[in-house]
A and B are shown apart, each in its own frame.
Chain A
Amino acid sequence: DAGVIQSPRHEVTEMGQEVTLRCKPISGHDYLFWYRQTMMRGLELLIYFNNNVPIDDSGMPEDRFSAKMPNASFSNLKIQPSEPRDSAVYFCASSRRVSGANVLTFGAGSRLTVL
């Protein structure tokens, strides 16, 4: 298995532009999580899906952020319009519940820089 695949690995954009980050979870995993990591706050949960349905999006910073999971093998996170404070590493993770425990497998992350 190739693991969780994220793209792009690096994105540099200008303030006001739309950013789309993509994630392909591990086949068979029924949970998908989007996290943002910064030095100041560490890993923050933005939103998670179960069986393609958004369950909790309370971590999404504001209306500029949106996430979709149209099918079991793809999710995207959009920021429109982007702002410099959105600069961070965005991680996608997937899991399936085994014996009552979610063990997340993380992608390599997408490093976003907004100028």
Chain B
Amino acid sequence: KNQVEQSPQSLIILEGKNCTLQCNYTVSPFSNLRWYKQDTGRGPVSLTIMTFSENTKSNGRYTATLDADTKQSSLHITASQLSDSASYICVVSAAASGGSYIPTFGRGTSLIVHP
């Protein structure tokens, strides 16, 4: 069964500090991995997407890494800001029948940035 596990479940950090969120997955056959940010009361918004051949991708202060051998990904946030407070969801897609790609969602890491 395809699964995506995220850790920690929640995290509180001080503004300006860095943090790293983890994602482990058992999804096969692997197609791509994405990190989404979900602000309270909003739908998730895509931050990064990585395919099998990519092992790092940045989007501003967000840097995602992928180790396809160990089936792990991390999302590193640099110099955190209050607006980074949100839930971060790891999503891994497997190739499905008919050429479609169906995502499996992790439960997310809730990040709170304190001033």
Chain A residues close to B by CB (< 8 Å): 4, 31, 35, 41-45, 48, 50, 55-56, 91, 93, 97, 100-109
A48 and B102 contacting across the interface, CB-CB below 8 Å: yes
B31 within 8 A of A: yes
B42 and A97 contacting across the interface, CB-CB below 8 Å: no
Contact A109 B93, CB 8 Å, known A31-B100, A41-B107, A101-B49: no
B49 and A42 contacting across the interface, CB-CB below 8 Å: no
Chain B residues close to A by CB (< 8 Å): 31-32, 34, 41-46, 49, 51, 89, 91, 93, 95, 98-103, 105-108
Residues in chain A near residue B95, CB distance under 8 A: 100
A55 and B105 contacting across the interface, CB-CB below 8 Å: no
Residues in chain A near residue B105, CB distance under 8 A: 35, 42-45
A97 and B101 contacting across the interface, CB-CB below 8 Å: yes
Interchain CB contact (< 8 A) of A104 among B41, B46, B98, B100: B46
Closest 3 CB pairs of A and B: A106-B43, A42-B107, A43-B105
Chain A nearest CB: distance from B52 CB in Å?
10
Interchain CB contact (< 8 A) of B46 among A45, A48, A55, A103: A103
B32 and A101 contacting across the interface, CB-CB below 8 Å: yes
